[in-house]
Amino acid sequence: MSSSILRKHRVVALLGAALIVTPLLLSPVLRADAQATLSPVASIVTPGKSFAPIVTADKPAVVTIMSKMQVASSDNNGGSPFERGSPFDEYFRQFFGQRGMPIPQPQPKSQEAEALGSGFIVDPSGLIVTNNHVVEGASEIKVILDDGTELTGTLVGRDAKTDLAVIRVKSDKPLPTIQWGDSDKLQTGDQVLAIGNPFGIGTTVTAGIVSARGRDLHSGPYDDFIQVDAAINHGNSGGPLVDMEGKVVGINSAIYSPNGGNVGVGFAIPSDQAEPVVAKLITSGSIEHGFIGVQIQPVTPDVANALGLSTSSGALIANVTDGSPAAEAGLKTGDIVTGFGGHEIKDPKDLSRAVADVSPGTKEKMTIWRDGKSMDVSISVGNNDNDEKTAETQSSPSQTPDGSYNVPSLGLSLGDIDRQVREALNLSTGEKGAVVVNVNPDKAGGEQGMREGDVILSVNQVPVHNAREASRAVAEAAKSGKKSVLLLVDRGGTQTFVAIPFGRA
């Protein structure tokens, strides 16, 4: 655990891949046996064949998106957290310096930031698809076409859970478009192209292959990312991932990186998931996701054996929220959900996605395993209007194999202060608390300046002695309806309070 605190480079999933341009406050080598014969595979584009025809057809429909937003300071005293010598000074200098970006200077409380992203036109009238995080909170949206034409964009609709948004521009002539493709046909090893505007240098095309399917980045119920090794960088967010027919099979949304740049591990939202969401956003402007009010966890072989299940599949209910649809339906802690709305539930992710796809107010049949037998219950799905994760796995702290505790509501992982940690951080013998062993910079904790090696001494002014206490205290604060949690943090011998809002995990 302590090695993760001391490692030189932090590896993080960057779901906010849009580059903050003026951030005032934010931030084939094949081997075979000697007897084996390798047969050429049809349809693979060989090095001697150009991708130019695909690029020529698709590039005109890819756009650059510039979003302006007002950012309010979290400093309650009116000062700036960037002031030299402040607890956050070193953090922000390292954060922006590593990315080759200007270090923020003290600014008034209300400040303007500008985000850069990409998008692609799906309708000649001017409908453009991009990521939600490219335009979320934007007061002004500017769209730059491939020919350099600048147009004003207006938000048609967005959905934070799928990280998708649709904007519209008005043009005096029909605009070029890209067709949707079939991501379900993609196989690991298929060739793909990523198109977008990384770092604002201009529309760029990179090539690679599908590295994996079904990646879960723990960002929400719809995690089913396509992993690719085509170079994706800041500013590529919202740009299309296209197949060898030139059709959109994904929307570039995230990178996995130790330094903020491309290392060949990028992620895209599958087109078969995105296309119906985009259609709903165009017609209604928003999407309501279902909610039942349970905390769930995987069914391990030991759990299945103890409860008499023949297979270790399903979603184990760890807690039922009082007054929730699940409570009204009579669900209990210890029930295992094996079916929902006619769909088999193999793991917690299946249940999260199935519930989120249901419109609030809909009654569904739920199959559960209780007291050694299977039974059906009827549940009326509620409205997940508080930006909580459906079939919630987030509020309850979960322990990882290395002994740390995940606190998804803040984007933090916490560990106990053992001898190695105490020595590494030069902590006094009697100091107790929870040490931060990992920070997702795109979650609430990272956005408020938390960093690895911070020691949490108290939660909402109640002292905590270890990671379990700290994670439970945060979970209780979230369940109580509080909008934020107040942490007392020891960083390098200096104690400071950090208030972190819930709702962006």
Q: Which residues are catalytic?
A: 133, 163, 237
Task: Supply 504's token pair.
Answer: 């962006």
Task: Supply 367's token pair.
Answer: 């199959």
The number of beta carbons lying within 10 Å of the beta carbon of residue 384 is 22
Strand partners, 209: 191
Residue type (1 letter), 341: G
Q: Was 234 annotated as part of a binding site?
A: no
Q: Was 133 annotated as part of a binding site?
A: yes
> Measured between alpha carbons, how far apart are the two ends of the chain, in Å?
23
Task: Supply 412's token pair.
Answer: 């933090």
**Residues 223 and 408: beta-carbon distance below 8 Å:** no
**127-153: b (≥16 Cβ within 10 Å) or e:** bbbbbbbbbbebeebbbbbbeeeebeb
Nearest to 101 by CA among 209, 180, 5, 23: 23
Query: How many whole angstroms separate alpha carbon 462 and alpha carbon 464?
Result: 7
Q: Was 163 annotated as part of a binding site?
A: yes
**Residues 242 and 195: beta-carbon distance below 8 Å:** yes
Query: How many whole angstroms separate alpha carbon 291 and alpha carbon 391?
Result: 6
Where would I find the beta strands (DSSP E) of 16-163?
Answer: 19-20, 62-72, 110-123, 127-130, 140-144, 150-159
**Residues 250 and 269: beta-carbon distance below 8 Å:** yes
Query: How many whole angstroms separate alpha carbon 488 and alpha carbon 496?
Result: 6
Q: What is the 3-state secondary structure (H, E, C) of 293-353?
A: CEEEEECCHHHHHHHCCCCCCCEEEEEECCCCHHHHCCCCCCCEEEEECCEECCCHHHHHH
Residue 310 C-beta-side C-alpha neighbours within 13 Å: 2
**Residues 9 and 258: beta-carbon distance below 8 Å:** yes
DSSP H helix total and E strand total for the chain: 11, 30
Task: Supply 79's token pair.
Answer: 């000062």
Give the torsion sign (CA, 179, 220, 227, 224). Answer: negative
Distance of CA 389 to the CA centre of its chain: 12
Residue 200 sits at φ, ψ, to 5 deg, of 75, 15
**Residues 82 and 73: beta-carbon distance below 8 Å:** no
* Known binding residues for substrate: 133, 163, 235-237
